[in-house]
A = this chain, B = another copy of it.
């Protein structure tokens, strides 16, 4: 398939390589064009302007946040001409439910088609085609995307016809990860202050019930106090995601006290200077609040 791909961050680069490896004809665009160059030797074409992605069967966006996606997809200087031509827009970023709704409506008005398909996974998972993808959109449009989704992720969950519901579930998942980190942070603070060695806590928890890979990963980071955000997910990005969770909850009139609590802890983490660390640094905040 002819694919346009907009957004070459840590995630996007791996995803494009997997599309190319599967034989797709990929044209990429990135605001900082230097990030596109290394992909040329993998077979990607590099566009000078978003409108050059027009003509693709599917245009994928993988951008940092609402503002970037809005600028790319809804403003005149961006992808609008590409979409006006009727291309399918496959949005894979973690963005707000409200923006997904606006895109759904804008594409409908313009005669285009919109599929929302945010992903779970870190850059390594993107590179290794191990992403979990949550997709929603018109069934035939989702089907047209399958040859792409199947080579970027290990599993795709189709959760409905209405694109924004995919964003709801992606945000719900991020909330559950954040809530796990916060509760583990509290549990480790209790155990350590009660005199238990952190490694023993880690071994017991992850060797008994808390066996999901993300639990093992975050429990180890908390136990060892290793929160450098190199390959991680910065606490201030986590704060952004919790903000989106609470916006969705507020719009739907759903009390989410645990999400509020985590949002406040992340905000305090930023206030305490931990914003650039991995969001497992909630473990440090909990330890400091316990006087450890």
Contacts and interface: CB of A to CB of B under 8 A. Distances in A.
Nearest to A188: B172
A290 interface: yes
Contacts of A215: 212
Contacts of A209: 120, 132, 173, 176-177, 212-214
A237 to B, nearest CB: 14
A154 to B, nearest CB: 9
Interface residues of A, number: 79
- Copy count, this protein chain: 4
A191 B208 contact: no
29 contacts: A134-B208, A159-B197, A159-B201, A160-B195, A164-B194, A165-B191, A165-B194, A172-B187, A173-B204, A173-B209, A175-B186, A176-B183, A176-B184, A179-B180, A179-B258, A183-B183, A190-B252, A194-B248, A211-B212, A249-B267, A253-B267, A254-B271, A254-B286, A255-B289, A268-B290, A270-B291, A271-B291, A271-B292, A272-B291
